[in-house]
Amino acid sequence: MYEKDAVYFITAPSSHKVRQIEGGSPAQLSLGKDDEAVLSGAAQIVKDPAIIDRVDRAYRRKYWAAWFTYWAMPLAGRVESGKMVVVQVQATE
């Protein structure tokens, strides 16, 4: 989900991404086939329930068919249970 000057995504708490973020590494996001970064910035794990809810709604709109299986449990429940984390990458200038 893109909102203002930040990108949000979900991942497993045991992922390489999360380990790098917890270690303080900045994030670089890219789109497409080339590796050119389209956004670089500080990354952090999101705990704010309002943001988690907006990310959940954005994912449900985009991946509507998954709602019948994977998304049947709201994202907040998966975050609370430790199965998923929401990551924010804040663009730096």
Residue 84 has pLDDT above 80, yes or no: yes
Residue 74 has pLDDT above 70, yes or no: yes
- In degrees and rounded to multiples of 5, residue 12 shows phi and psi of -75, 145
Query: Alpha helix locations (H) across 1-93?
Result: 16-22, 49-62, 75-80
Instruction: Give the neighbor-by-neighbor strand order of the sheet with 6-11.
Output: 2-3, 6-11, 85-91, 37-46, 27-30
Question: Which amino acid, residue 89?
Answer: V
Which residue segments constitute the domains of the chain, with CATH numbers given?
2-91 (2.30.110.10)
Those residues with Cβ within 8 angstroms of residue 1's Cβ, 6 or more apart along the chain or in another chain: 7, 8, 9, 54, 55, 58, 59
Residues 27-46: pLDDT tens digits? 888 776 676 767 788 999 99
The pTM of the full predicted model, rounded to 2 decimals, is: 0.80
